[in-house]
Amino acid sequence: MMPWMRKITAFVFSAMLFFQGGGMLHVNMEKTVDGEAFPPGARWLDTDGNLIQAHGGQVQVMPVPDGNGGKKDCYVWIGENKTSGHLGNAVAVYTSEDLYHWTCHGDVLRPLSDVAQIDTDPYFAALYGELNAAERQHVRECIGTDMVIERPKMLYNAKNDNYVIWFHNDGPTEKNSYYYDIGMAGCAVSDSPFGPFRFVDRYRLSECPDGQIDCYPFSRGEARDMNLFLDEDGTGYIVYTSENNKTLYISRLNEDFTGLSGSEYGVDYIRIFPGAMREAPVLLRENGRYYLLSSSTTGWASNQARVWSSDAIFGKWRNDGNPCRGRGASVTFDTQSTTVFQAPNGSWIYGGDRWNAENLIDSRYVWLPVRFEDGRMSIEWRESWKWEN
Ligand code: GAL
């Protein structure tokens, strides 16, 4: 099936689920997160009074510069700045101490509109001025303002004391004008979480091993919606949808977090439930058990979440079904998964995107409480709530 046919079929299926799930969930559209509570889907302004632009993002605690030459732990929210619309999204970073008030640190990875900018704009000259003409052209081809730069995530690399961003990097090919034909993962590095990040390159990732059924053998090693996970032992992982969005993969990163650790199946990577057609993955660890949350593949339209769990990353994963409970649970409360993290009191929070396909810059964030019981994860609907309670 062609990608656009798949999206339409999935959209119709999603719409059926949506209405079955109780109709419109666009509540709290006019409310603003006010520092007292999280009303799901409300407008959320940063400390400068601007709409937060950190879509398809990730929230986590990591060391950041403290302003006195040292570092302090802080919440960091990285995501897509949708000011440019669908394509050429810069990657933005915000920080917070209390999860309600977020300070914007601007665009930490910027796309180029023209290769000449490397000569004319000091920002790009400092990052890419050393490159030869072919390398400069390659940077422009990968992170051009007409390319897909989505779902950016960041890890702090303790070994090198630097920061590494991975993101979904896509665009059309000579064979196909569809904007998601390249199917690669981009990587960028910086000494500061506030950038500027230098684009390193983009890559195809792990491939279906011999002896297993590849759900899309025509285009091997694809990587689209993705996320990063830092395990307690300091090992980094990238989790992503591959095989034309039919199969999720988890691959271990190398010690610098800038590439994969190797290509041995079960040691360096694993495929999870081939053919399940999942994307928007989130990998987390709670009380020694790993959880892998994901959405179905219906573009900007919401659909039903699913979670798998396992005692080991490269172990046997169990399908735990839909973790959502309460109003709108059949369509993930009209959101798509992007991050799960712990509040200062140790409780867990789900962060999802409520996409507005007609006006992507006004897509909203929905944060809800997550519970774990007997090795099962659930996400609960709330009209408005505080993490302190
Ligand atoms: C979604 C994906 C988003 C974006 C969108 C474009 O499935 O999760 O990140 O790529 O499709 O239609």
Looking at residue 61, its pLDDT comes to 98
Q: Regarding predicted confidence, which is higher, 52 or 9?
A: 52
* Protein residue with least CA distance to atom 4, ligand 1: 299
Looking at residue 35, its pLDDT comes to 72
For residue 115, how many C-alpha atoms fall within 13 Å in the half-sphere facing its CB? 12
Ligand 1 geometric centre to CA of 353 (Å): 10
Ligand 1 geometric centre to CA of 171 (Å): 13
List of residues 6+ apart from 191 with CB closer than 8 A: 161, 162, 163
Q: Residue range 169-175: average pLDDT?
A: 94
178 lines ligand 1 (CB under 6 A): no
Ligand 1 geometric centre to CA of 129 (Å): 33
Looking at residue 83, its pLDDT comes to 98
List of residues 6+ apart from 14 with CB closer than 8 A: 296, 298, 301, 302, 303, 331
Ligand 1 geometric centre to CA of 151 (Å): 9
pLDDT band at 121; cut points 50, 70, 90: very high
* Protein residue with least CA distance to atom 7, ligand 1: 299
Ligand 1 geometric centre to CA of 299 (Å): 5
Q: Residue range 12-26: average pLDDT?
A: 43
Q: Is 98 left (phi over 0), alpha (psi -120 to 50) or beta?
A: alpha
Looking at residue 37, its pLDDT comes to 79
pLDDT digit string (tens) for 269-316? Answer: 999 999 999 999 999 999 999 999 999 999 999 999 999 999 999 999
150 lines ligand 1 (CB under 6 A): yes
Looking at residue 245, its pLDDT comes to 98
Choosing from 86, 179, 225 the residue with most ligand 1 atoms within 8 A of its CB, the one to mutate for a pocket test is 225
Q: Residue range 172-186: average pLDDT?
A: 94
Contact in structure between 48 and 106 (CB atoms under 8 Å): no
Choosing from 6, 148, 150, 179 the residue with most ligand 1 atoms within 8 A of its CB, the one to mutate for a pocket test is 150
pLDDT band at 32; cut points 50, 70, 90: confident
Query: What is the pTM for the complete model shown?
Result: 0.93
Ligand 1 geometric centre to CA of 4 (Å): 13
Question: Coil, strand or helix: which one is 18?
Answer: helix
Determine phi and psi for 82, rounding to 5 degrees: -85, 15
Ligand 1 geometric centre to CA of 366 (Å): 17
The sheet carrying 318-319 orders its strands as 279-286, 289-295, 306-310, 318-319
How far is 147 from 171, CA to CA, in rounded Å? 5
How far is 256 from 384, CA to CA, in rounded Å? 40
353 lines ligand 1 (CB under 6 A): no
Q: Which two tokens stand for residue 65?
A: 């510069």
Atom of ligand 1 nearest to the CA of 245: 7
Contact in structure between 387 and 346 (CB atoms under 8 Å): no
Q: Give the range among 37-46, 57-66, 259-268 with minimum mean pLDDT.
A: 37-46
How far is 16 from 143, CA to CA, in rounded Å? 37
How far is 94 from 106, CA to CA, in rounded Å? 8
Secondary structure string (H, E, C) spanning 21-49: CCCCCCCCCCCECCCCCECCCCECECCCC
* Protein residue with least CA distance to atom 1, ligand 1: 299
Q: Which two tokens stand for residue 126?
A: 């400092």
